[in-house]
Chains A and B, each alone.
Chain A
């Protein structure tokens, strides 16, 4: 079955612009989590959605937001982009948050590489 699909794979944006990234989870998975990965900070949790509701949120400014649709696909939006937002943005899906945190069926996508210039 298809894995977690993230689009686009690469994106270049100018400082001050906004961007929307998309994540389609594995069929049947209803939980989607988003992460930012940078060389300096490693992987950092952004937020988690389950059944169209945000369940958990990391320590990121309000410029970072997300949502989940009824088909479990999720989008994250970053407004007023800053140079420091350049990163690999990863999403991961699981059947539900419980299986995610017990380590079963927690699958990452290949990520979207965002470069802010």
Chain B
């Protein structure tokens, strides 16, 4: 069964510090991998999207990396702000299944002042 596993499940960091979230997937072949940010009570908002041939993509203080050989991705948050407190969801698009989306369970990040 194709899966997307994220770690850690939750994370507390101090404002201004950096953090890295992990995403491991077994989906293959895949079309693209996306990271979404979801604020409490809101829908997910796309941060980055990477295809098989890309290994890094930035969006402001968010930088995603992709290693298609090891099937791992990471999302790095630089100089965290209180507004970064949210859930971060890794999503893999599965090419062989008509581009079906498989979602990770998310990492809940809490930034403290």
Tell which of B12-20, B21-29, B38-46, B65-73 binds the partner: B38-46
Report the Cα distance A89→B73, complex, angstroms: 27
Do A56 and B42 have beta carbons less than 8 Å apart? no
Do B49 and A103 have beta carbons less than 8 Å apart? yes
In the complex, the number of residue pairs spanning A and B with C-beta atoms less than 8 Å apart equals 48
Q: In the complex, how many angstroms separate the beta carbon of B50 from the nearest chain A beta carbon? A: 9
Known: A101-B31, A102-B31, A103-B32. A45 touches B44 (CB 8 A): no
Is B98's CB within 8 Å of the partner chain A? yes
Is A43's CB within 8 Å of the partner chain B? yes
Known: A42-B106, A43-B89. A101 touches B45 (CB 8 A): no
Do A108 and B43 have beta carbons less than 8 Å apart? yes
Do B104 and A42 have beta carbons less than 8 Å apart? yes
Contacts of A56 in B (CB 8 A): 98, 100
The residues in A between 1 and 58 inclusive whose CB is less than 8 angstroms from any CB of B are 4, 42-45, 56
The residues in B between 55 and 113 inclusive whose CB is less than 8 angstroms from any CB of A are 89, 91, 93, 98-101, 103-106
Do A43 and B103 have beta carbons less than 8 Å apart? yes
A108's contact among B45, B49, B99, by CB below 8 Å, is which? B45
Chain B interface residue count, CB cutoff 8 Å, equals 22
Which residue of chain B has its CB nearest to the CB of A43?
A: B103
Do B101 and A101 have beta carbons less than 8 Å apart? yes
The residues in A between 89 and 117 inclusive whose CB is less than 8 angstroms from any CB of B are 90, 92, 97, 100-103, 106, 108-111, 113
- Using a CB–CB cutoff of 8 Å, the interface residues on chain B facing chain A are 31-32, 34, 36, 41-46, 49, 89, 91, 93, 98-101, 103-106
Instruction: Please list the 4 inter-chain residue pairs (A to B) with the smallest Cβ-Cβ separation, ordered nearest first.
Output: A108-B43, A101-B99, A103-B49, A43-B103
- Using a CB–CB cutoff of 8 Å, the interface residues on chain A facing chain B are 4, 42-45, 56, 88, 90, 92, 97, 100-103, 106, 108-111, 113
Given contacts A42-B106, A101-B101, 15 further A-B contacts (CB under 8 A): A42-B104, A42-B105, A43-B103, A90-B44, A92-B43, A101-B98, A102-B31, A102-B32, A102-B93, A102-B99, A103-B34, A103-B46, A108-B36, A110-B42, A111-B41
